[in-house]
A and B are shown apart, each in its own frame.
Chain A
Amino acid sequence: MINIAIVGVGETSYSQRSGMSPQALALHAIQRAVDDAGLDVSVIDGIVPISNSIPAEDVISNFNLPHVGLSATLRIGGASAVGSLGLAATALQTHRCRYVVIYIGKNGSSGERMVQRVSQLPGYQFRRQLEEPFGWGTPLQWYAMMCRRHMELFGTTKEHLARVSLTMRKHAQNNSHAQMYGKPMTREDYYASPMISDPYQLFDCCLETDGGAAIIVTSEERARDLRKRPVVVSGWGVSPPQSPDDLTNRPDWNSIGLTKAAPDAYSMAGIGPHDISALMVYDCFTFEVIQQLEEAGFCGRGEGGPFVASGAIEMDGQLPVNPHGGLLSEGHMTGLNHLIEAVRQLRGECTSRQLPRLQFIGVTGWGNLGDGSMAILRRDHRG
């Protein structure tokens, strides 16, 4: 088996109104990722669009790619970015491809918004027939319900949710690329934000975003000849939750896809949660950070609230989370921006928000009704 590495990363600016097409956003991001790797775009022979991105055919046509050995998309929403590393690994290990691009380009704010994608999710017949008639039909409301149960069972509080939101906003103040850069938030601001579906207020929700992002993946061996120091994918895992098409009758709401994906990732990497220096968590909403910290093994089940309240996820905490500000304060690039941040941190490119002494960085994904993924990244061992 060969190791795979991320050798190039690229993004457009993130905004609420790009004024560009999703095609342009994706293509610009791909070009930047290829430039970052020091490659010519014609070497790309594997294409993995993230769930709701523009199709592979657009990329093939625009760049006039001579040979494509694989194009495929995982339909697991926000778990797709991390999960696509597994898809790329499979393509690279069978020598079907040499350089795989994983990308997204979307107008998630000014164009098709998240709620409009619900009809494309698994089990939509149950949503449409049995749930939407009662006014329960958006991810925000599903996850608010999961959060409420966790609060009742374990004593998780609004103050814990506030701490997640405030920490992500604070981190974004060190990232000029973040949409919330230059817009610090106080606890009073958080509590004053409009209540949407209790316990979620506006500032418990991530930023629907216009933008593009891309990464280039190849074998570790090839990676060593390229421009930037490679970041190796040490382990990955992808898993659905129980009853992945229906949350209502899922036997155990505490268990999510990550509950299985995380042990798979640790096992492949030969490490455990204590070896992780920093974590990029798929922070679609505040409680999901708390739940993923628990299910990825960074604290016990039910202890995620006190864990974040202790300051553990701050830049100087025991497990810094999302130095870039995450989906909550940088932007929603369906988790691809989390992989990009992990790569830049491991390369040491993050200037004012650079974390010291990094060994392994974990990256999680969360999609649909709880599909989970996790990757573990590390520096290449050479030099």
Chain B
Amino acid sequence: MNRTILPDINHPDFAFFWTKCRDEVLTVPICQQCGRKRWPPRPICSACHSPDYTWIEIASRGRIYSWTVTHRNMVPHSIQPTPYVIAVVEIDEPRDTLRLLGGLWETPPEIVHLNMLVEPVFVPVNDVLTLPFWRPVQRRHVIACESPVR
């Protein structure tokens, strides 16, 4: 029995995010008054209370803030088999720190550690939905983005 719960891609607060996931881009709302980015998507800016916002692409790198390895078949279940790793990924944008909840895609639990650098991997679930998972950044990528002057 399939106990996976998929998002409602037509939900007005989240639809844009899911549309852009199909293009393999992560986006968040950005306040048109004060310029603060926010996550999760909220109808108003909690910094300046403006209702006006648009969407903006964010960095496609993050670090593991925390994680859990789920061994038992829970409801809701991941599209991955147990045991699967769920993580909070922290993304440093110039002015804002945003955290996204996601799964680590095909990642062995024993290699996961705090502050591990991860990148998104976009997994199509059906014709209209792509879920953004994460995976460890390959070492060559780490060198490229972490130490430009070394």
Same assembly? yes
CB pair A125–B13 under 8 Å, yes or no, is yes
Contact A197 B69 (CB under 8 A): yes
Given A126-B40, A128-B5, A152-B114, residue A141 in contact with residue B68 (CB < 8 A): yes
Contacts A145-B88, A249-B98: A129 and B7 contacting too (C-beta < 8 A)? Answer: yes
The 29 listed contacts between A and B (C-beta, < 8 Å) are A123-B40, A125-B13, A129-B11, A130-B100, A131-B101, A132-B76, A133-B76, A133-B79, A134-B86, A134-B102, A134-B131, A135-B86, A135-B103, A137-B75, A138-B75, A152-B66, A197-B70, A197-B72, A197-B74, A198-B68, A198-B70, A198-B109, A199-B68, A246-B40, A248-B88, A249-B39, A249-B40, A249-B98, A249-B99
Contact partner of B77 (CB less than 8 A), chosen from A135, A146, A199, A249, is A135
> Assuming the A-B contacts A134-B102, A149-B66, A197-B68, are A129 and B14 also in contact, with contact meaning beta carbons closer than 8 angstroms in the complex?
yes
Q: In the complex, what distance in Å separates the CA atom of A358 from the CA atom of B110? A: 47
Residues of A close to B77: CB separation below 8 A = 135
Contact present for B11 and A135 (CB under 8 Å): no
Is there contact, CB below 8 Å, between A198 and B71?
A: yes
Q: With the chains together, A197 CA to B78 CA distance in Å?
A: 13
Q: Which B residues fall within an 8 A CB radius of A?
A: 4-8, 11, 13-14, 39-40, 65-72, 74-80, 83-84, 86, 88, 98-103, 109, 113-114, 131, 133
Q: How far is the CA of A132 from the CA of B6 in the complex (A)?
A: 8
Tell me the A113-137 residues at the B interface (CB within 8 Å).
115, 123, 125-126, 128-137
- Are B76 and A137 interface neighbours, CB within 8 A? yes
Name the interface size band of chain A: 20 to 34
Number of CB contacts from chain A to chain B under 8 A: 111
A138 and B88 alpha carbons, distance in the complex (Å): 15
Residue of B nearest to A131 (CB): B101
Which residues does chain A contribute within 8 Å of B99, judged by CB atoms?
A: 248-249
Q: A133-B7, A133-B131, A134-B101 are in contact. Are A146 and B66 (CB under 8 A)?
A: yes
Are A137 and B74 neighbours in the complex by a CB distance under 8 Å?
Answer: yes
State whether A141 touches B74 (Cβ < 8 A): yes
Give min CB distance, B46 to chain A, whole Å. Answer: 8
Give complex CA distance A81, B51 in Å: 36
Interchain CB contact (< 8 A) of B100 among A115, A194, A199, A248: A248
The answer on a CB contact under 8 Å between B76 and A198 is no
Interface presence of A75 (CB below 8 A): no
Given contacts A115-B74, A132-B76, 17 further A-B contacts (CB under 8 A): A129-B14, A130-B14, A130-B101, A131-B101, A133-B79, A134-B131, A135-B74, A136-B68, A137-B5, A138-B74, A148-B67, A149-B114, A196-B71, A196-B72, A197-B68, A197-B69, A197-B74
Measured CB to CB, the nearest residue on chain B to A116 is: B75
Does A226 touch B at the CB level, under 8 Å? no
